[in-house]
Structure 1
Amino acid sequence: MKLSAALLLLSQLAVSQATSGRLKEPSSNNNVSNQRTRYAKASKTGKSGKEERDYFNRVSNFFICSQIGASCTEDDATSAEIVAASEDGMTLIYTDAEKGGVGSVDITDYANPKGTGFIPTSGEPTSVAIRGKYAVVVENTSQDYVNVSGQLHVFRLSPMTLMHTIQLDGQPDSVAWSKDGKYIVVAIENERDEDLGDGGLPQMPPGFVVVLDASDADPSKWTRTDVDVTGLPGVRFPEDPEPEYVSINKDNIAVVTLQENNAMVLIDLKTKTVVNSISAGEVTLTNVDVVEEGVIRQNVSITKYREPDGVAWADNKHFIIANEGDWVGGGRGFTIFHKDGTIVYEANDDLEHITAAVGHYPENRSENKGNEPENVAVGMLDGKPAAFIVSERSSVIFVYDISDVTEPKFIQVLPAGLSPEGVTFIASRNLVVAACEVDDRGIAARAVISIYKTKKSELPSYPTITSLWSQSDIAAPIAWGALSGLSFGSEEHKLYSIEDSFYSSSRIFKIDTKNHPAIIEKTITIMDMNGVLDAAYPGVFGNADKTVNLDQEGITLDSKGYLWVASEGSGTAASGTPNILVKVDSTGVIHKVVPLPDDIAAKQLKWGLEGVTFVDDGSESGALIACLQRPWSGMDHPLILAYSIGSESWDGYLQYPLDAVESPNGGWIGLSDISFYNGMAYIIERDNQGGPDARVKKVYKFNPFDSAYTWQGEVINKELVYDMMPKLEEVSQGLTPEKVEGLAVNDKGMFIMNDNDGVDDYNGATYLEFIPWL
């Protein structure tokens, strides 16, 4: 499959915009005839005429912290690394290395999974496999990198009870159980010490592969054979193989990846002998980003060892490797091999480009291994074999049709929790399950098990926004992330948005919202061609190439066709950068810079300018209303400021009373975007919490023309318009985004959108949602 096919599919996703959740119309304008529910289809062919098919959609997230307390209010770190399912598909078992044990989850109702217990282990559990009534869990009990040891525990599933333990004489990394139940294979990695010398290979002791004969119903009678995998051809350091991951086909041939050695070995489990060893080779990627400079530039060619991590058999003759990289390599994609060592398919830079198109590209990993494909599972979708490749750094799952292993077809991308590690397909229930390991309440990230189910539809529910290819560089898509404010454009169905200071070269995005998903069809790079910004603030915002590095948080379009951007400052007035409004034309050239009034700017703290909106106040040029996120020094409330475009002067301010903090994790409440429509100013008020700690994500309105306001510091009267929490919990399945920072209101309803923080310590999901008036 060519890259163009994958991205073309993303850019052609087209059905009417989703409209679950509705608002009360503030005036007589209630024309919503063009709005459609996303999957309101009654036949094989949808209303748009497009053929329906099965797509996976995420239906739930099980929060690992709920095993500690149902409300997830504890700070204790947990994780979910590898997950396996019972054969009836009703129970999940996962490994939790942070807490040191294994947990169980009842998914009888997969939309409402329930934790059913946690069993501590003596070491660090690394992997789990299930067959029949037993689950086997391997754990690392090593003292250090030289004195290595491990165990395999056999648990009865119901109730979860330890039945037997087998010593492994090394550090296990993964385990697999053959489909006929006869064999269990453990990859004994004996991993390298990355802090020893240069951290490279070889480092003793060498790893090996354990094969257990599990044909007896009594686990205490299982027998163990150690298979030596040293000294094999195709292995970079054959004396130190470091087995990583294992998968078994129907013929009981195990394929084991040797990640740091950039190789795979095949073992016949009946004879316990190596039947082939294969170098994973190198891959040349022609359009990827390899520099962490705050700009996603996918225009460099590199050649790297693939260094595969996860592996899965596509059929009895072919297997798929996820080319994560661990040491000096990283293929950033996946490869399909014939068991004789022949490559039949290479994904090249597809995954890098798909993540860029859907806003999940991790710019901060460009100099490392990009999106880092971590693992792979094989299952079925729409009656055809499918591969599910998880990306650890982009926090997504790529779904490919592999009915022809020589030409896989990209089908869809699924959102996941932060850093998915393990993935499995449950054939009995047509479910995909991913274990997402990062858990840090301080950054609003909780470890989850994400569950996906098929549904017939014209298109999947995610992504809600994607991009077209750049017209200037057709080799890669328009890359984006960290979208903040929103504003309607002059054309129907068009929105403007901006990226914040996560990226170092500020851009404006033009978005077509006519269809689902919305399409980023154009970028406008802001340029200080005439030195306007640099004259006002020499050396503060400008780049050498005349691009600028603003912290764009709000955007609006005025009546003359100019765009105004609110750039948030940093730090204090004495030592930080200023909060400013920047006027740019349709080509991105800066025409004017407006600082805040001196008396207000002198009180600057962090949490500065967020939203800005154009107001038709009856004057020739109109006015702008902008908001500060939080109160500054000496203030009781954040300010709403008015600026007259015609007179080029600030006309005063109001004070905005914030709601009280409700989150069990504390934090603060602040303002985000602001949008003017039909005589009223609409504004986002939110807390700085995400996931199960999120509580306040609301849209309020106030009348800026109220005769009670002289704009001399009065406290406004606000009215609740819409509580976004139910909608955000619905679309994210409980992974409620913290930073809801985009709002655009018109006679049809409102668009809301979250900032994905450039996929840095966040799962990268962007939800652009339309809420129509009733």
Structure 2
Amino acid sequence: MLNHSSNQLMSHRRFMRKLALIAFGAGAYTLASTTAADSFRHIATFDVTSNGTDVAEIVDATPSGRSLLYTDSDNAVIGFVDIRDPENPLPDGTIALSGEPTSVAVRDRRYALVGINTSPGDEEGEPSVRTGELAIIDLLRRSIERTIDLGGQPDSIAIASNRRYAAVAVENERNEDFNDGLLPQAPPGKLVVVRMFGPPSRWTTRDVDLTGLADVAPEDPEPEFVDINRRNEAIVTLQENNHIVVVDLRTASVTNHFAAGETTVQNVDATEEELGPQEQGLITFVETLTKRREPDTITWIGDHLAATANEGDYEDAFGEEGGSRGFTVFDTATGAVVYESAESFEHASARAGHYNEGRSANKGGEPEAAEYGEFRGEELLFIGSERANVVGVYDASEPSAPVLNQLLASGSGPEGIKALRRQNLLAIAAENSEDNFPSMITLYRYGTGAPTYPQIESLDDPDSSTAGVPIPWVAQSGLTADPNDPLTLYSVSDSFLAQSYFYTIDISAEPAAIVSRTAVGGPDGAFDLEGIAAAPEGGFWLASEGRNGARPNQIIKVSTEGTIESQVELPDGLVANATNSGLEGIAVTGDSTTELVYVVVQREWDDDPDGEVKIGRYDAGAAEWTFVRYRLDGLESPAPEGAWVGLSEIALLPNGTFAIIERDNLLGTDAQVKRIYRVDLASADFRPWDDPSGLATIDKTLLRDVLGVLETNSVWTPDKLEGLAISPVNGAAFIITDNDGLDDAIGQTVFVEIGALP
């Protein structure tokens, strides 16, 4: 990652990291693909709102690979995406449907099948009638050729490779507001086999009765997902029933069935504490659970094995929830477990910063999507985590021991995955949207080269008593370089977690490695850390952002062990003008006798002119605060409502001037301002905050616009460019983004070297 003058030092650090991996047993969970010859690389993201739709849930592709189709249940349409140029996907219109589309499957260049839920809405406290139909879409004419009454509410569709059969899982899902959501609730679900011989007008259907098979509510099967192998066998998950069924499509009969069973996961976080400034709790991988698997999606691996994504969906009469947080490979002839991922997938997500603490007490990452495909002769299994916003790519050439090759960032809530094998493409549909990002389809291309994500991941936690448990981390909000070691950086996390930490980062390999974390201030160290800087005589200065009525804006000096040595607040009179946008970055100059600490305030306070913010300087020897003002860039008009520009970081440059991150709060295609400026603070006229002549406004010089860097290294341009580190040894500069801990956020962390700043 860095061009160092000492190759020997880098080789030594890499060798020591390998030794640490072996010692802590991280090889079981650390990504195997850091040296892979082939990998998936993000090439495009399609915003479904550009097609006049709101949601992309299930996605499929035409055989030519020129078009994607996706379901939008909110608007009762099927959407089309033109991917003739996959790096530039284009909106291609919609087809209106009679109800909520739940699944779409493309048969050939002419026809696609769509399952449509036409059921009336549930009345609170009682179930309603379950109805649905199968729409056959003529892709050439972009019209509905025929509809077939399914006699119930469809959930999933699969089409056989010989195009003679289709299978529709008709769930007739339960009303969770009726009888506490407990099964059974009539009518029972079923599988509908579609015989596709001749034109659609001649297609016929046969129902497959699935009652009496499961141990859980056998009279009310609720099939969730279906897939078909080359032998025209359908495999069906009964999610709430925790059961799996194999059906021969030629005879429309059940040939085998077995319970999905349960599994034990160890060293997981199953408690959602409400502690800390934002009541977000802690990520602690110390608990053991035994859970029903309750698989959602299922995919064949060849003709005799199948993999399930064990999301879980049912809370039984005893209050026990299903969902085992991982995936399982089953022998479909015997029902035997060939492989169980247990906690490893969730741990791998956590290593990359994709852990959703808000779901700890529920079902963790909730693996929901599964897909199998062969790319360049490689047998690959894809598992999507709905709550972690990632897709794991596994080498499944040995199904009894899948190997994690890489993690792919997605939008929020990856629901549908489609492998376009001939085109070496992978499409991921993420259904969730928020005010600041849309539902989206991400496109990846498989080709030569190592993975580009994650760009930073954690090693095993040296404080854990069990090998293989990762250092948990999220929301990196500040960054600094080691004064003497060009291969070490330090970061801090903000108040998303109840406990404040600083992290040690080894950049001698790719991805960079978080090798340790240190608690700040012991168990009571609940700050909103937004900046970190190495102190001249050892230890660190930290900037903690204030929140009116909850915590003060302050700078904190800590030892290398995290012990607080001093805490300094801003002048009382100045604090009276404060808003909730307070101290962000921090930088330090001098030595123990001439120590000067610089901080930036993110946005205007009540005593600031519009478009100007403060930079503070604290003279540690004299214990005095002084300030200057900094003029912010404006946004292009029209800017989205609520848009603003502020400061996020300050870092000392080798020539004694300072680099400052100036950024807006906008994501994706709305993002405008992600810039690094130079300011000369050594010659600036710092004054007390209440100086009668007012505060001076300093000049700034643009060093680097990094908007393009963020666009290139993310699936959706992040808003929170919050960390900048500049090595005093070789001048190399690094940036890092705050992923908001997956709280209404996509969760991707961008961490890249941007070269020396001019």
Give the equivalent residue in structure 1 for 2:194: 212
| Stretch deviating more after TM superposition (355-364 or 5-14) | 5-14
User: 2:106 is matched by which residue type in structure 1?
Assistant: I
* Structure 2 counterpart of 1:753, from 717, 733, 736: 736
Give the equivalent residue in structure 1 for 2:539: 562
C-alpha spacing 1:479/1:488, structure 2 compared with 1 (3 Å): same
SS across alignment from 1:664: coil
| Stretch deviating more after TM superposition (249-258 or 196-205) | 196-205
Tell whether 2:681 aligns with 1:661. Answer: no
CA deviation after TM superposition for structure 1 residue 380, in Å = 2.0
User: 1:569 is matched by which residue type in structure 2?
Assistant: G
Give the equivalent residue in structure 2 for 1:623: 596
Q: Superposition RMSD on alpha carbons, in Å? A: 1.8
Tell whether 2:472 aligns with 1:479. Answer: yes
- Contact kept? 2:33, 2:404, Cα under 8 Å: no
- Contact kept? 2:627, 2:686, Cα under 8 Å: no
* Structure 1 counterpart of 2:30, from 4, 7, 10: 10
User: 1:719 is matched by which residue type in structure 2?
Assistant: T
Relative to the length of structure 1, the TM-score reads: 0.88
* Structure 2 counterpart of 1:326, from 310, 313, 321: 313
1:8 & 1:336 partners in 2: Cα distance? 18
What are the within-5 Å matches in structure 2 for residues 373-388 of structure 1?
A: 373-388=367-382
1:11 & 1:389 partners in 2: Cα distance? 14
What are the within-5 Å matches in structure 2 for residues 111-150 of structure 1?
A: 111-132=87-108, 133-143=110-120, 144=122, 145-150=127-132
What are the within-5 Å matches in structure 2 for residues 100-249 of structure 1?
A: 100-132=76-108, 133-143=110-120, 144=122, 145-216=127-198, 218-232=199-213, 234-249=214-229
Give the equivalent residue in structure 2 for 1:672: 648
Give the equivalent residue in structure 2 for 1:586: 560
2:632 & 2:461 partners in 1: Cα distance? 41
CA deviation after TM superposition for structure 1 residue 688, in Å = 1.1
More RCO (CA 8 Å, sep 6+)? 1
1:488 & 1:141 partners in 2: Cα distance? 59
- Contact kept? 1:13, 1:517, Cα under 8 Å: no
- Contact kept? 1:6, 1:354, Cα under 8 Å: no
User: 1:59 is matched by which residue type in structure 2?
Assistant: I
CA deviation after TM superposition for structure 1 residue 270, in Å = 0.4
Q: How many residues align?
A: 701
Give the equivalent residue in structure 2 for 1:740: 721
Tell whether 2:248 aligns with 1:268. Answer: yes
What are the within-5 Å matches in structure 2 for residues 428-447 of structure 1?
A: 428-440=422-434, 442=435, 444-447=436-439
Tell whether 2:85 aligns with 1:93. Answer: no
What are the within-5 Å matches in structure 2 for residues 350-749 of structure 1?
A: 350-440=344-434, 442=435, 444-457=436-449, 459-473=450-464, 474-490=467-483, 491-528=485-522, 546-571=523-548, 575-616=549-590, 620-636=593-609, 637-650=612-625, 652-662=626-636, 664-666=639-641, 667-677=643-653, 678-706=655-683, 713-733=695-715, 735-746=716-727, 747-749=730-732
Tell whether 2:40 aligns with 1:63. Answer: no
User: 1:453 is matched by which residue type in structure 2?
Assistant: R
CA deviation after TM superposition for structure 1 residue 706, in Å = 2.8
CA deviation after TM superposition for structure 1 residue 527, in Å = 2.3
2:635 & 2:150 partners in 1: Cα distance? 52
CA distances 1:467-522 after superposition (whole Å, capped 9, x unpaired): 11011212401111111000111322211101111101111101011221111011
1:608 & 1:286 partners in 2: Cα distance? 40
Give the equivalent residue in structure 2 for 1:305: 292
| Stretch deviating more after TM superposition (691-700 or 623-632) | 691-700
User: 1:649 is matched by which residue type in structure 2?
Assistant: E
- Contact kept? 2:330, 2:337, Cα under 8 Å: yes
- Contact kept? 2:382, 2:392, Cα under 8 Å: yes
- Contact kept? 1:376, 1:390, Cα under 8 Å: yes
1:4 & 1:253 partners in 2: Cα distance? 43
CA deviation after TM superposition for structure 1 residue 381, in Å = 4.0
User: 2:501 is matched by which residue type in structure 1?
Assistant: R
- Contact kept? 2:536, 2:589, Cα under 8 Å: no
- Contact kept? 1:3, 1:350, Cα under 8 Å: no
SS across alignment from 1:260: coil
User: 2:460 is matched by which residue type in structure 1?
Assistant: W
- Contact kept? 2:647, 2:662, Cα under 8 Å: yes
C-alpha spacing 1:8/1:317, structure 2 compared with 1 (3 Å): closer
- Contact kept? 1:381, 1:401, Cα under 8 Å: no
User: 1:643 is matched by which residue type in structure 2?
Assistant: Y
- Contact kept? 2:585, 2:599, Cα under 8 Å: yes
CA deviation after TM superposition for structure 1 residue 428, in Å = 1.2
2:32 & 2:341 partners in 1: Cα distance? 21
SS across alignment from 2:288: strand
User: 1:762 is matched by which residue type in structure 2?
Assistant: A
1:128 & 1:454 partners in 2: Cα distance? 24
C-alpha spacing 1:13/1:223, structure 2 compared with 1 (3 Å): closer
- Contact kept? 1:287, 1:299, Cα under 8 Å: yes
Tell whether 2:752 aligns with 1:769. Answer: yes
- Contact kept? 1:7, 1:477, Cα under 8 Å: no
CA deviation after TM superposition for structure 1 residue 109, in Å = 1.2
Give the equivalent residue in structure 2 for 1:54: 38
SS across alignment from 1:355: helix
2:744 & 2:547 partners in 1: Cα distance? 20
CA deviation after TM superposition for structure 1 residue 255, in Å = 0.5
CA distances 1:557-589 after superposition (whole Å, capped 9, x unpaired): 111112111111113xxx332111111000010
SS across alignment from 1:353: helix
1:590 & 1:4 partners in 2: Cα distance? 30
C-alpha spacing 1:493/1:259, structure 2 compared with 1 (3 Å): same
SS across alignment from 1:147: coil
C-alpha spacing 1:13/1:102, structure 2 compared with 1 (3 Å): closer
- Contact kept? 1:625, 1:641, Cα under 8 Å: yes
CA deviation after TM superposition for structure 1 residue 634, in Å = 2.6
SS across alignment from 1:321: strand
CA distances 1:409-449 after superposition (whole Å, capped 9, x unpaired): 11111111111000011111121111111122x2x221111
CA distances 1:645-699 after superposition (whole Å, capped 9, x unpaired): 222221x101111111336313111111111112212111111111122111111
1:8 & 1:250 partners in 2: Cα distance? 33
- Contact kept? 2:661, 2:724, Cα under 8 Å: yes
C-alpha spacing 1:9/1:230, structure 2 compared with 1 (3 Å): closer
1:730 & 1:485 partners in 2: Cα distance? 21
- Contact kept? 1:687, 1:697, Cα under 8 Å: yes
- Contact kept? 2:32, 2:403, Cα under 8 Å: no
SS across alignment from 2:221: coil
Give the equivalent residue in structure 2 for 1:538: none
User: 1:669 is matched by which residue type in structure 2?
Assistant: V
- Contact kept? 1:482, 1:756, Cα under 8 Å: yes
SS across alignment from 1:600: helix
- Contact kept? 2:104, 2:113, Cα under 8 Å: yes
SS across alignment from 1:257: strand
Tell whether 2:291 aligns with 1:316. Answer: no
Which runs of no fewer than 5 residues in structure 1 stay unpaired? Answer: 15-49, 69-76, 529-545
2:622 & 2:32 partners in 1: Cα distance? 45
1:763 & 1:7 partners in 2: Cα distance? 27
1:510 & 1:6 partners in 2: Cα distance? 17
C-alpha spacing 1:247/1:265, structure 2 compared with 1 (3 Å): same
Relative to the length of structure 2, the TM-score reads: 0.90
2:619 & 2:232 partners in 1: Cα distance? 76
Give the equivalent residue in structure 1 for 2:268: 288
